[in-house]
Amino acid sequence: MSAKWALFFDVEKCAGCQNCFVAVKDEYVGNERAGYFAAQPATGHVWFGAKHRERGPAPFTEVAYVLETCQHCDDAPCLKAATNGAVIKRPDGIVIIDPRKAHGQKQIVDACPYGAVSWNEHSQTPQAWPFDAHLLDEGWRRTRGEQVCVTGALMSMKLNDAGFEQKKREGWRELRPDLGTKARVLYRGLERLETIFVAGSLETEQGGVRDCVQGARVELIRAGAVVASATTDAFGDFKIDALAPGGAGALRISAVGREDQEIPVTLDRSISIGRRIVPAT
C-alpha cells in the first residue's frame, strides 16, 4: 500500500515562537497556485499556528501550545459537504480544497469540526492549509512550518498504514479522536492540556517570622485511598500533577515536628492551596 503524508506535533517541545505561523503566512499571502490554493488574506486567517493554552493559578501557572491547522482527515467532513468535487483526498493523504471548484461553497467551512477552514470573503472561497502540497509535489521533503521549527516540535513524513498505526502505539494520537475523522495530524503530550494539578507552598511561623517547610510529604486522598503524593522542595513548594479532573478529595500534609493537616479540595480544575502555615506539634 502506498505511503501517505502525516504530520506530528510534540506539545512538550513547542515554545510558542510562532515561526511556523510566519512561514505559512510567507508562503500563502499574495501567492496562489491553480488547483492547490488561492492567495491567503494578509489578516484574519490562521491556517497554521500554535495556540496558547494555560492551566493553573499563579504562581504555578503552566503554559503549553497546541497546533491548530487542517487535520487532513482520512474521513474528512469537508469532503462530504462539498459539491462538484471541490474537496479531494489525494492518494498521498493530503486534503485539497480546489479554489475554483469551491467558489461560493461556505458549507465547507461549517463542516470542519476543528474550525480549520476559513472563509475568504474577497474571493468567496473556503481555504485551509494544503500541507504545502505544491512544494512537496516539486520535490520538497519538509513543509515550511517544519523547516523553521527550532525546537523540533513539528515533523512530517510519509508512512504506509502499518507505519502510521505504529506511531499511534508509540503514543502519538489525534487531537479529537471522538470526532471519528481519522485525522492525519497526530500529537504527543496532550496530557499537559487534559490533566490538572494541585499545588501550594508550606511555611512555618514563629515570632512573626516565616520559613519554608522542606521535605514535607503531601498526599492526595480520593475515596479514602492515597492516589498521588509529592514532597516539598527547599522553597516549601509542592505540585501533584497529571491528575484526571473531576470529583473531590483531600490533601494530607505531614512534616517532622509539625501537626498533620488534612485540607479538602475540589478537583474540577488545577488549583493552588496558596501559602499554608503548618503549625508545630
- Give pLDDT tens digits for 113-158: 999 999 999 999 999 999 999 999 999 999 999 999 999 999 999 9
Residue 189: Cβ-neighbour burial (10 angstroms; 0-12, 13-18, 19+): middle
Give the C-alpha separation, 131 to 241, whole Å.
35
pTM score: 0.88
Q: pLDDT class for 4, splitting at 50, 70, 90?
A: very high
Contact 155, 146 (CB under 8 A): yes
Domains along the sequence of the chain with CATH: 4-192 (3.30.70.20), 196-277 (2.60.40.10)
* Neighbouring residues of 162: CB distance < 8 A, sequence distance ≥ 6: none
